[in-house]
Amino acid sequence: MKAVKIIVLGLLTVVFIAYSLAFMAYRGLNATLLDQQYYHSVIGDYNLPDTLHTELENMISAIARDGVTGGKTITNPAEKAAADSQVMLITNAIASALDEQWIEEQTVMITDDVVNFLTGKQGSLSVAINLKQKLGQIESNIAAELEKFSDAELLAMFKAPRAYIPVISTQIVDQLGLPESVVIADIINDSAPGTFELIIGYLTTAKLLFGLLVIVVILVFLLICVLFWKVGGGFQWFGISTLLAGTLFLIGTSYFSKLARMESLVGFDFESLPIATSVSQSIMSFTFSEMYVMPIIFLVSGIILFIFGLIIKNARKKS
């Protein structure tokens, strides 16, 4: 009979530990990916605006070169010099308008909107990046850059003298084809339709499983432990189970905080991101460190409950 009790309680303990691990993962998710302050910290502490601005410059340069040359390789030295000047002009004009401060503001605005949507604070994604004012600034920047060239250089590049600088700058901006507004919801729906609906479905289920139900699960499992092993032994078993759950979660987060191991788990190449691998690793380590509060609570609670059960057990033996 005792063996059956141990087997049954052992199985229930496995279920409790698995549930506890899922609960801690959910709490960790709320403390990181579903928390606005987490994104503010990552954006500010790891200089993401600077990194994204550098990547934006590289991307603009490649697109501008393709547009200027029509995708062809230019071998003529004079034509190549003219093309290089145009590419540099366009790149500098756009990069100056879309600077690091602007990128930081847009990134914070987007992450805040996404978090508010996923956490149910708003019914839909509403954020849109307004580029209308920036288009005017880009045109002004291009005109300012063009003023640096002589008539001969402008004739070589654009077949027009300095008097046509306003026309040239307007034509360049028009050819860029930049929209006046970018709606984030449209981009996500076009690239990955149904993604947010799926995520919200999972989060809704998680809220049901790890809301008030957590208290019920803890009390029921504690009661079962007490029924199986009486008060002292029950608290000891419950304490060990809680301690084990916290320990396993800490071991798991410590193991998967390494970038290479996380890549193997999720099947995503983090090196494809527009940031240095060392920065990605730092962000990964920071993310998992933000998840440590709940498992530490489990660890400390487990130790206290085990000691409490031991005291009760010894007191009963003496009496």
Could you tell me which residues come within 8 angstroms of residue 69 by beta carbon, excluding any fewer than 6 positions away? Answer: 83
Q: Is the pLDDT of residue 69 over 90?
A: no
Do 248 and 140 lie in one domain? The reply is no
Residue 40: predicted pLDDT = 94
40 within domain boundaries: no
**Could you tell me how far CA 54 lies from the centroid of its own chain?**
19
Do 105 and 149 lie in one domain? The reply is yes
Residue 272: predicted pLDDT = 77
Contact 95, 203 (CB under 8 A): no
Q: Count CA atoms closer than 13 A to 26's CA, side-chain side.
A: 18
Do 174 and 55 lie in one domain? The reply is yes
192 within domain boundaries: no
pLDDT tens-place string over residues 205-223: 999 999 989 999 999 999 9
Closest-CA residue to 9 (of 220, 312, 215, 300):
220
Q: Is the pLDDT of residue 29 over 70?
A: yes
- Helix axis angle for 213-256 and 2-31, nearest 10°, is 70
Do 93 and 63 lie in one domain? The reply is yes
Q: Is the pLDDT of residue 262 over 90?
A: no
Query: In the listed set 178, 193, 215, which residue is the last one of a domain according to the structure?
Result: 178
Do 60 and 9 lie in one domain? The reply is no
| DSSP assignment string, 166-206 | HHHHHHHHHHHT--SEEEHHHHHHHHSTTHHHHHHHHHHHH
Contact 237, 225 (CB under 8 A): yes
Do 170 and 56 lie in one domain? The reply is yes
pTM, full prediction: 0.85
Residue 114: predicted pLDDT = 93
10 within domain boundaries: yes
Contact 246, 302 (CB under 8 A): yes
Residue 319: predicted pLDDT = 65
183 within domain boundaries: no
Assigned token pair, 163: 């008097």
Q: Is the pLDDT of residue 192 over 90?
A: no
pLDDT tens-place string over residues 268-304: 777 777 788 888 899 999 999 999 999 999 999 999 9
As a whole number of angstroms, the distance between CA 135 and CA 61 comes to 17
124 within domain boundaries: no
Residue 155: predicted pLDDT = 85
Rounded to an integer, the average pLDDT of 224-246 is 94
pLDDT tens-place string over residues 147-177: 888 888 888 788 888 888 999 899 888 888 8
39 within domain boundaries: no
75 within domain boundaries: yes
Do 210 and 274 lie in one domain? The reply is yes
Assigned token pair, 206: 């998680």
Query: Strand, coil or helix: what is 129?
Result: strand
| Cα distances (angstroms) measured from residue 19 to each of 39, 44, 221, 241, 246 | 28, 35, 11, 11, 12
Rounded to an integer, the average pLDDT of 125-136 is 91
Do 27 and 57 lie in one domain? The reply is no
| Mean pLDDT estimate for the chain | 90
Do 29 and 55 lie in one domain? The reply is no
Closest-CA residue to 131 (of 174, 91, 181, 176):
181
Query: Which domain, by its residues, includes 211?
Result: 2-33+203-318
Do 252 and 156 lie in one domain? The reply is no
Residue 245: predicted pLDDT = 98
Residue with tokens 């993401």: 48
pLDDT tens-place string over residues 89-116: 889 999 999 999 999 999 999 999 999 9
Confidence of residue 124 (pLDDT cuts 50, 70, 90): confident
| Cα distances (angstroms) measured from residue 208 to each of 22, 215, 245, 291 | 13, 12, 21, 20
Do 169 and 72 lie in one domain? The reply is yes
Do 12 and 70 lie in one domain? The reply is no
71 within domain boundaries: yes
Number of folded domains that form the chain: 2
- Residue scoring higher pLDDT (319 or 241): 241
Radius of gyration of the chain (CA): 30
Residue 80: predicted pLDDT = 85
